[in-house]
A and B are shown apart, each in its own frame.
Chain A
C-alpha cells in the first residue's frame, strides 16, 4: 500500500529525455581545455537529477550508472580533471547509454547490460587514471576561487518551502529531511501557519514549510543535492546561519532591523562557528519569496537558468490525442459553417441581411479558431535540427572530414506530425551530404576550397508551405556516374539523352546508390527513393539542384499541416474534385491545334516546349463529363514525382482550404486519391493525389 509511483513514471521519462537533450547540447558546446563551468554544471545537474529519479523509482541500473557518471562530472566540475577529447566522447556515449536505458525501462524491456557495464568501466577507468590536477588553467576561474573550492560552512540555515504540488509529484519532505539529518546535526523548525483546517485540507497538497539549521563542516553542494529532485517544486534558500540576516537583498526581507556590520565576507562564518546557538532560527517571512537561485549565484554562476524550472514556465503538457480531437471537431465546425454560409445566401428579405452579417462573423471567428488550434500543434523545427550537431560531429570524426554545420530558420514552426516524420528523411539527406557530397580535406584544399566543408540546414515559410533545404559546398552530383549507373541498371536506354534535371531525378529511383563502396552510412539500398516516399506521404515534394564542384541543394517543400490542404476545386461532370495547390503548376485552355496523339503515350500537348501527356479525369474516374472536346474544357498542369501532366477537367470552381478526411481509415486506400473532404453543400469531394494519378493513368495507357 505504498504510493503508486508508476503514475509519475511518464513525467520522469519525459523530463529525463528532455534533460538528456539539454545535456547533449551542453556537451557539444563544451570547449576542450577551457570548459565553461556553467555548462559543466548543467551537465552535472542532468546526471544528478536522473540519478535521483531513478533511485526513487527503483531503476537501480540507471542509478548505478549515473552515479559513476556523476563522479566523473564532479571531477570535471571541481577542476580536478581537464575536459579532454576522450572525456567528452565518453560523456556523449553516456548520454546515448542513459537514453537507451531509459527507453528500455520505459518499454519494460531488458537493459543492454553488457553495453552499459562496458561504458561504466570506461568511466571508472578515466576516474581512476585522473591526471594530477592541472595548474588552474582557466584564468576566469582563477578570478573566482570559490568555484574551484566547494563552499563549506560550519553552520547552514536552509529555508525550504515546498509548493503545494510537491507531494503529488512523489517528493516527500520527510525523505529530504532525513537525508539532511545524515549530513550533520540538525535542528528543524516547522512553519504550519498556512495549514488550513482539516476539513479544507487536500491530503495531496503540502502546506508546510521548514527552516532547518545544520551544523558541521558540510559543503553547500551536499545540501543542494538533497533537494535536487524537488527543484522547481519548492522555494529553497541556503545561507550561512550567521549571515542569513545580513543578506537582505538575497532573501528579499523587508528591511531587517539590524543590517549590522556582518558583511557577507568569507571571514564571517568563523565567528558563527564559535557561537553555535541552536535557539536562534530567525523567523523568516522572507523564505517564501527567496528564489532557489538567489544565494547560489555567487558560488556557481547561475546554473538554474539553464535548467529552467518547469513550475512557472507558463506552459502545460497536453496529450496529442486531445489536440487531435479538438482539431477534428474544429474541422467539423468548418464544414458546418460552410454549409450555413451557402444556405444563408439563398434567403431574401430584411432579416436575410442580418443573417448574412452573422454568418460572415461566424466565418471570421471560425478561421481564427482554426488557426489557433493549428498553432497549438505547431512546434519549431529546432526540435528536429537539434539532433544534427551531434550526428555531424560523429560522422565527420568517423570519415576524417572537417564539417561545419550551419543551422538557420530553426524557429520556423510546423505541425508536430509533419515534424516527427521529417526527421528521418533529413537525417538521410545530411548523411548523404557528408558521405558523398563533402570531399576529404586534402581534395578540398586542392580544389581551392576551405578544408572544412559546410552543410547548411535551412527552414523557411513559403506561402502555406514550409521549405526545408539541405545544401553542401561539396563536389555536387556527379552526372556521368549517375548516368553510367542508370545505364548499367537498365533504368534508361543506352542512347537516351537526358537534361540535367532528369539526370538528378534518377537518384530518386529505388535501389539507386552512387556510393562506390558501401559504407555503413549510406549505400545500403535505402536511399533517396525512401526519402522521396516519406516526403510524399506528408503531401510534400523534394527537388534537387546541383552544380559540379560547387555543391548540391535538396529542397523539401511541405504543407504546414496534414489536417488541412489548400486546394483548387475542379468540376468533372457532376462531381467535384480537389487538386492540392502544391502540385499545380498552372491551368490553361487548349487550342485545337496543339494536341497531338502519340502511339503508346496517348494524347500529349505542348507546354513550354515540352510535350505533356493529358489525363482525362472523366476517363480515370468513370464520370460522364460535360464535354469531351479538349478545347471546350480546361487543362490543369500538375506535377508529381518530377513528372508533369495535364489533367483535363470541365471547369475550375475556386480555391479553398479543405479539411482532409482520411479515406484509408474509413474505407480503404485508392490509388490516385489521397483523401476526401466535405464541401459547403454537404457533398463529398475527393482530393486527388497527383503522383498516384499519374501512375494510374500511365498504366491505363500502357494497357
Chain B
C-alpha cells in the first residue's frame, strides 16, 4: 500500500501536482485521495480538474472528495463532478464527500444536481 502511490506518482505526475496543492494531506489512501477541490473551480481550470478526476476514476477504494474550501464553482466543474460520481457509481465504486462548502452546496442545488452528486448526506 505504501509503495503503490509512490510508483503511481512517477507515472502520473499530474496527480502529484494535485496533492501538492492540498492543504493538509490527511494520511491514508492513494495520493490525490482525498481530492481537495480548489477554492476556484471554474471553466478556466476545468481541464486540470478533469485529469485529477480521471486519475481517480478507477481507484478501487472509496474516493473522498473534499469541497470544504470551494468558494466559486461553475457549471463546467459541476458537470465534471457529476460525470465522475455517476461513472464511479456505475462501476460499483464508492465516492464520498468529506465536507461541502456552502457555495458548492447552493450551486449544486440550483442546478438540480444535489442527488446526482449524492451531496445530500454531506454538508
Contacts and interface: CB of A to CB of B under 8 A. Distances in A.
Contacts of A203: 43, 46-47, 49-50, 76, 79-80
Contacts of B49: 203
Contact of B80 (A4, A190, A192, A201): A201
A509 B82 CA distance: 74
A498 interface: no
A197 B111 contact: no
A497 to B, nearest CB: 77
Contacts of B38: 1
A433 B84 CA distance: 69
A189 B112 contact: yes
Contacts of A168: 43
B84 to A, nearest CB: 5
A192 B107 contact: no
Interface string A132-166: 00000000000000000000000000000000000
Contacts of A199: 54, 57
A630 to B, nearest CB: 76
A474 B46 CA distance: 66
B79 A3 contact: no
A198 B83 contact: yes
A172 B49 CA distance: 18
Interface stretch (A174-182, A390-398, A455-463): A174-182
Nearest to B80: A203
Contacts of A197: 83, 87
A198 B80 contact: yes
A206 interface: yes
A190 B108 CA distance: 11
A78 B59 CA distance: 60
Contact of B74 (A174, A181, A198, A201): A174
A208 interface: yes
A168 B53 CA distance: 21
Nearest to B110: A177
Contacts of A195: 79, 82-83, 86
A198 B95 CA distance: 15
B35 to A, nearest CB: 13
Interface residues of A, number: 28
Interface in A192-244: 192, 195-199, 201, 203-204, 206-208, 210
A339 interface: no
Contacts of A201: 50, 79-80, 83
Contacts of A4: 44
A188 B112 contact: yes
Interface string B51-82: 00110010000000000000011111011101
Nearest to B56: A198
A263 to B, nearest CB: 31
B75 A198 contact: no
Contacts, number: 89
A559 interface: no
A167 B74 CA distance: 10
Given A198-B57, A203-B46, A204-B76, A177 B111 contact: yes
A413 B53 CA distance: 53
B119 interface: no
A167 B75 contact: yes
B42 A3 contact: yes
Residue from B80, B82, B84 whose CB has the most chain A CB atoms within 10 Å: B82
A188 B110 contact: yes
Nearest to B53: A198
Given A172-B74, A198-B83, A201-B80, A190 B110 contact: no
Given A197-B87, A198-B57, A201-B50, A2 B79 contact: no
B54 A173 contact: no
A380 to B, nearest CB: 38
A645 B82 CA distance: 79
B74 to A, nearest CB: 5
A190 B50 CA distance: 21
A2 B86 CA distance: 27
A282 to B, nearest CB: 15
A48 B18 CA distance: 42
Contacts of B42: 1-3
Residue from B46, B73, B83, B116 whose CB has the most chain A CB atoms within 10 Å: B83
Given A174-B110, A188-B110, A2 B44 contact: yes
Nearest to A174: B75
Nearest to B78: A174
A206 B44 CA distance: 14
Contacts of A188: 110-112
B28 to A, nearest CB: 24
A198 B49 CA distance: 11
Nearest to A197: B87
A168 to B, nearest CB: 8
Contact of B116 (A1, A190, A210): A190
Given A167-B43, A177-B110, A198 B87 contact: yes
Contact of B86 (A172, A178, A192): A192
A197 B54 CA distance: 10
Contacts of B54: 198-199
B111 A206 contact: no
Nearest to B81: A198
Contact of A210 (B76, B82, B111): B111
Given A2-B44, A174-B110, A210-B111, A196 B74 contact: no
Contacts of A2: 40, 42, 44, 72
Interface of B: 38, 40, 42-47, 49-50, 53-54, 57, 72-76, 78-80, 82-84, 86-87, 107, 110-113, 116
Given A1-B44, A196-B83, 11 more contacts: A1-B42, A2-B72, A172-B75, A174-B111, A177-B111, A181-B110, A199-B57, A201-B50, A201-B79, A203-B43, A208-B82
29 contacts: A1-B40, A3-B42, A4-B44, A167-B74, A167-B75, A172-B75, A172-B76, A174-B74, A174-B78, A174-B110, A174-B111, A177-B111, A181-B110, A190-B113, A192-B116, A195-B86, A196-B83, A198-B50, A198-B84, A199-B54, A201-B50, A201-B79, A201-B83, A203-B79, A203-B80, A204-B43, A206-B79, A208-B75, A208-B79
Interface of A: 1-4, 167-168, 172-174, 177-178, 181, 188-190, 192, 195-199, 201, 203-204, 206-208, 210
9 A-B pairs with the lowest CB-CB distances in the bound complex, closest first: A203-B46, A188-B112, A190-B112, A198-B83, A1-B40, A3-B44, A177-B110, A3-B43, A173-B75
